[in-house]
Amino acid sequence: RKVANVVKNKVQDVLVYAGLSKRLTPFEQIVATLQASMSIEPVRKSDIVTISLRTPDREGGIAILNKFLDIYLKQHIEVYKTPRARKFFEQESTTLRDRVLDVHKGTHTFREASGVWELGEQRQLLLKQKSDLEGTYMNTISNLRLLKQEIAKFVELKSGMPGQVELTRVSERNPVIKNLDEHLGQLEASREQALTKFTPEGRVVTDLANQIARLRAMRAREEQLIVNSVTSTRNDNLVAVEKAILDKRAMEEGLSAQKQEQERQIRDIEARLALLDSSEVEVERRNREIALLNKNFHLYAEKLEDARISEAMDIASISNVTVVAPATGGVMPVWPNKRTWTVMALALGIGGSLGIAFAREMVQPTARSRKEVADVAGAPVLAVIAEAPGTRFRSRPPGPERPLVRAAGSGSTGSLL
């Protein structure tokens, strides 16, 4: 059998090489082998079908047949079972689950890109931050306004302060009193005008009153006589005022920078609040979509479970094919058939013997009568010499070949056998 398989494979290779056949894959070879080895025959006057498989391995053949029967029963149920409800619900459940995952993933991506996670908490936190910043901002503005007023006062005070202070002087009538009186008159006029617009406790009126008081104090300190010649030095008070002005202006720059930073932070919070407002619609839409998809998914999951139960209950009524007996292996081998092979061997032996004899006769002909010898030699036979006993099967001794036919007599040709 192995020799036959080898020969068969070689012939198949030759046919494939010649383009007369197709090379089969291992799976196709197995299928072709099973098709050639399997026979299915109905039992007469019954609904029983007998399946036989001829294999060299008894246990392997039993396993193959049992597997074949299992596959057939499953396929029979698959073909004849009613509406594909379970398959439909499986597909819909899978689609909805994938859709839910996609929406969750898209929502996560949207939240990462926009920074929107919990609208209520984020809005409340941002509003609190904005309120705190606005309070701090208003304090900064108030401090900045007061600081500017102080700087203005110091500048005004500086403008009224001499740059030098006297050490020695020669006095004469002081013309400054006149200027102070004029300045006081202007300030009093400004104060009267301010009283028409502001209350006496107002900052403007108070500042004017303070200036008037200072000027009056200055006037009171002024002498009626002025110094004609003075030995002076730099006014230390003026230096202190200038230093105070520089310090206040440095503080003003710091407060201005703080104010700008607070304004920027407030704008950022307002932008984030605006983003929350604009994203609220999208977030709510996504949340509604997720809730709806989850609801539909749970609904289809329940329907799928019901369909599975219904299908399991219907299988018993669908499967009208029953295995009468499982596959079993025969005790005696069905191949090779001894009788068939014996007859074939006898026929082959007889035919082969006859063929060899005829072939030998054709290759090396033998003369069996005088006429055949005369025909072969082309001369008449003169005598026949009998074969000596015991020499029939002797091998001819080595030496030159002796001629079978010799010429005899004169004027005629003869043969000696």
**Where is average pLDDT lowest: 62-71, 129-138, 183-192, 359-368?**
359-368
Q: Is the pLDDT at 393 greater than 60, yes or no?
A: no
Determine the pLDDT at residue 407. 37
Determine the pLDDT at residue 399. 46
Residue-wise pLDDT for 293-350, tens only, equals: 788 888 878 877 777 776 666 655 555 666 666 777 665 565 566 677 788 888 888 8
For the chain, give the number of residues: 417
Residue-wise pLDDT for 339-363, tens only, equals: 777 888 888 888 888 888 777 767 6
Distance from C-alpha of 17 to C-alpha of 9, rounded to nearest angstrom: 12
Q: Is 45 in contact with 52 (CB distance < 8 Å)? A: no
Where do the DSSP E strands lie in 129-251? 164-173, 225-234
Q: Is the pLDDT at 232 greater than 80, yes or no?
A: no
Determine the pLDDT at residue 73. 76
The residue type of 341 is: W
Determine the pLDDT at residue 415. 36
Q: Is 71 in contact with 272 (CB distance < 8 Å)? A: no
Q: Is the pLDDT at 30 greater than 70, yes or no?
A: yes
Q: Is the pLDDT at 409 greater than 50, yes or no?
A: no
Residue-wise pLDDT for 160-199, tens only, equals: 777 776 666 666 666 677 777 777 888 888 878 887 877 7
Largest separation between any pair of C-alpha atoms in the chain:
206
Determine the pLDDT at residue 315. 59
Residue 315 counted as domain residue: no
Q: Is the pLDDT at 401 greater than 50, yes or no?
A: no
- The two three-digit tokens of residue 228, written as one number: 């004609």
Residue 190 counted as domain residue: no
**Domain boundary at 40, 68, 84, which?**
84
HSE on the CB side for 42, CA within 13 Å?
4
Determine the pLDDT at residue 395. 44
Count of the separate structural domains present in the chain? 2
Highest mean pLDDT among 10-19, 20-29, 105-114, 128-137: 128-137
Residue 54 counted as domain residue: yes
The H or E element that residue 274 is part of is helix 236-318
Q: Is 169 in contact with 229 (CB distance < 8 Å)? A: yes
**Where is average pLDDT lowest: 19-33, 135-149, 152-166, 389-403?**
389-403
**What confidence tier does 387 reach under pLDDT thresholds 50, 70, 90?**
low
Residue 229 counted as domain residue: no
Give me the DSSP letters along 310-344: HHHHHHHHH-----SS-----SS--SS-HHHHHHH
**Domain boundary at 57, 84, 111, which?**
84
Distance from C-alpha of 415 to C-alpha of 408, rounded to nearest angstrom: 7
Distance from C-alpha of 275 to C-alpha of 287, rounded to nearest angstrom: 18
Domain containing 362: what range? 338-416
- The two three-digit tokens of residue 201, written as one number: 């406790």
For residues 11-33, give the mean pLDDT: 75
Q: Is 294 in contact with 100 (CB distance < 8 Å)? A: yes
Q: Which residues pair with 415 in a beta bridge?
A: 381
Residue 301 counted as domain residue: no
Q: How does the average pLDDT of the chain come out, rounded?
A: 74
Q: Is the pLDDT at 400 greater than 50, yes or no?
A: no
Residue of higher predicted confidence among 384 and 406: 384
Determine the pLDDT at residue 240. 85
**Where is average pLDDT lowest: 138-147, 184-193, 397-406?**
397-406
Determine the pLDDT at residue 112. 67
Q: Which residue has the tokens 């309120």?
A: 131
Q: Is 43 in contact with 37 (CB distance < 8 Å)? A: no
Determine the pLDDT at residue 296. 82
In the chain, the percentage of residues whose pLDDT exceeds 90 is 0
**Domain boundary at 54, 84, 114, which?**
84
Residue-wise pLDDT for 95-117, tens only, equals: 877 887 887 777 777 666 666 66
Q: Which residues of 299-331 are buried (b: 16+ CB within 10 A; e: fewer)?
A: ebeebbeebeeebeeeeeeeeeeeeeeebeeee
Residue of higher predicted confidence among 88 and 321: 88
Residue 247 counted as domain residue: no
Determine the pLDDT at residue 200. 76
Determine the pLDDT at residue 32. 78
Distance from C-alpha of 221 to C-alpha of 384, rounded to nearest angstrom: 193
